[in-house]
Structure 1
Amino acid sequence: MQQAAVKKIGIGIGADTEKVIDSVCRVSVPCDIVCYSRPGIATVPAGHPRIRMAESETPESALVSDLMTGAIDAAVRGTLPANATLQALRAAAGVNHLERIALLETAGGKKFLLAPVGIDEGWTVADKLALIRKGRLIARRFGLPEKVGVLSGGRFGDIGRHARVDRSMAEAELVARLGDAVHYEILIEDAIESCGLIIAPDGISGNLVFRTLAFLGAGHGHGAPVVNIDRIFVDTSRASPDFTNALLLAASLLE
């Protein structure tokens, strides 16, 4: 019987070279790892035969191209610049925007999925319902509760205080009903107790939740898979302390 080919995960190196190299050397995944960088900025220490460099003057384009052609099976942005990398991914995948679902962890060790997390994502009821469908599949894969909590801009007692809050709550009620989810009003602290996926009112508030937890609240962002393309791409923040969890996330999605 022919042995199955070893899967390959690509990761980008822009800034913080040592942080990425340290992550790929420490992580334990059943995959080869290809590091994409500009020429001469990084080397792999001896003793890591399953890690190799792929140098290019435009590593973000090389990473995306290899992902789309199948030269690698999954990709992690690492520390490549967000704008250039995600623009290349949008163009190659033929989509006008990317939908991401972030795997987060509180300071107390509670893991959950959050979407939308991009400021141009999740602005319509249809967008949120699509994120719920795709998020439930990811939650199941990672052993998280499939219960979904939908957030809005206030509590029921706040109705009438501002038209924007009223619209937010009405939309959350609709999304919860159509998506077989629970509307938790603005009470994210209650939603996280039993929900594996939390849907923010919009991409701005979702991005703020992510940044507050990861950069101010001693929590962790483990990466955000893009869910509206037919390839595995895990987006990351260059401010992440390391990328081992993002690589583990990519490897898990390959299973």
Structure 2
Amino acid sequence: MGLSDVLWERARSFPKIRIGVGAGVDVNSVVKSIEALRGVADFTIVSNRGLSCDFCKVLVCDCPEEVLVDLLWSGEVDACVRGSLGARSVLECLRKRFSVSELLRVSILEFDSRPLLVAPVGVDEGFSFEEKVRLVEAGVRLCGELGFPVKRVGLVSCGRLEDVGRCEYVDESIAELELLKHKLIEKFSGLEVAHWGIVVEEAVKSSDLLVFWNGVLGNLFVRCLALLCGVRSFGAPIMGIEKVFVDTFRGRGGFIDALLLAKALALARLSK
């Protein structure tokens, strides 16, 4: 049973929760996704565009990013999905409202019928050694909430391990991830950690969580798989706050999987 099957089963088996969804440029894809999930949750669309919907609540406002984040912060909804709102404004609102400097996004894909976590995935994330350690902690915690334990972590740098000496940029990435490998082995007992260099095609087969040297590389990897190769993407939960917020790609064309993930995480946290 794949991750999508598990999330669908949980969505049908448990009572409704409240989910806020942002609608920016592509309003129709948000509306269609919610319509496909009638009865799964009580949805609220937040948008700055005029729209009508007879099967969920709609809030039309000048600053939907702020309103969406405020709904989550105040407890008026149990979870939020960015939907088709712009990333920069939403993330800035989250940092400000929840008083955090790190969002710690961890992307979830379904690769070869199994969950695959990827971090960092924000273009401004994962540039420090310490943040990469915290991202691994976040990924382990996220999988625990979903019931899929992380057993294998694969580290991906910018060259093969034997490429040391060819380029300072490559050397720096290899050296740092070698240090990270030893740090993670020391910190997480029972966790298999391997540094694959740049050989991502092998790393993806043997890892539950892939950690890239920085968020630019991770973002490119997820975009290639999800937007070019058709790999199923469930979005990227923000693990730097206690409440459930799932980040998404605007160009994905649908948000059903992200909405199902938001519900599953909200149920897991509400049951604690």
Q: TM-score, normalised by structure 2?
A: 0.84
Paired residue for 2:79?
74
Deviation per CA, 1:56-108, whole angstroms, max 9, x where unpaired? 221111111111111111110001122221111111011234221111234x5
Alignment counterpart, residue 126 of structure 1, candidates 115, 127, 130:
130
Paired residue for 1:113?
117
Deviation per CA, 1:102-129, whole angstroms, max 9, x where unpaired? 11234x5553111001111011111111
Rounded Cα–Cα distance in structure 2 between residues aligned with 1:17 and 1:119: 25
Rounded Cα–Cα distance in structure 2 between residues aligned with 1:160 and 1:81: 40
8 Å CA contact retained: 2:121, 2:216:
yes
Rounded Cα–Cα distance in structure 2 between residues aligned with 1:5 and 1:213: 33
Deviation (angstroms), 1:5: 8.8
Paired residue for 2:215?
203
- Please list every run of at least 4 consecutive aligned residues from structure 1 whose deviation after the TM superposition is greater than 4 angstroms: none
Distance 1:202 1:29, change over 3 A: farther
Deviation (angstroms), 1:10: 0.4
Deviation per CA, 1:1-28, whole angstroms, max 9, x where unpaired? xxx9952110011122111111011126
Paired residue for 1:238?
250
Structure with greater helix share of residues: 2
Deviation (angstroms), 1:191: 1.7
SS in 2 for 1:239: helix
SS in 2 for 1:83: helix
158-167 or 241-250: which moved more? 158-167
Deviation (angstroms), 1:43: 1.9
Question: What code does the residue aligned with 1:43 have?
Answer: S
Deviation (angstroms), 1:243: 0.3
Paired residue for 1:220?
232
8 Å CA contact retained: 2:104, 2:138:
no
Q: CA RMSD in A?
A: 2.0
Deviation (angstroms), 1:55: 2.3
Distance 1:87 1:53, change over 3 A: same
**What percent identity do the matched residue pairs reach?**
35
Rounded Cα–Cα distance in structure 2 between residues aligned with 1:95 and 1:178: 25
Alignment counterpart, residue 142 of structure 2, candidates 138, 145, 169:
138
Paired residue for 2:52?
43
Paired residue for 1:12?
22
Rounded Cα–Cα distance in structure 1 between residues aligned with 2:104 and 2:86: 18
Paired residue for 2:98?
93
Q: Which sections of structure 1, spanning at least 5 residues, go unmatched?
A: none
Deviation (angstroms), 1:138: 1.7
Q: TM-score, normalised by structure 1?
A: 0.89
Rounded Cα–Cα distance in structure 2 between residues aligned with 1:162 and 1:239: 34
6-15 or 196-205: which moved more? 6-15
Question: What code does the residue aligned with 2:163 have?
Answer: D
8 Å CA contact retained: 1:139, 1:197:
no
Rounded Cα–Cα distance in structure 2 between residues aligned with 1:219 and 1:12: 23
85-94 or 4-13: which moved more? 4-13
Paired residue for 2:8?
none
Q: Which sections of structure 2, spanning at least 5 residues, go unmatched?
A: 1-13, 186-192, 268-272
Rounded Cα–Cα distance in structure 2 between residues aligned with 1:117 and 1:8: 27
8 Å CA contact retained: 1:97, 1:120:
no
Rounded Cα–Cα distance in structure 1 between residues aligned with 2:31 and 2:40: 17
SS in 1 for 2:205: helix
SS in 1 for 2:259: helix
8 Å CA contact retained: 1:76, 1:233:
yes
Rounded Cα–Cα distance in structure 2 between residues aligned with 1:142 and 1:15: 34
Matches within 5 A, 1:56-71: 56-71=61-76
Deviation (angstroms), 1:142: 4.7
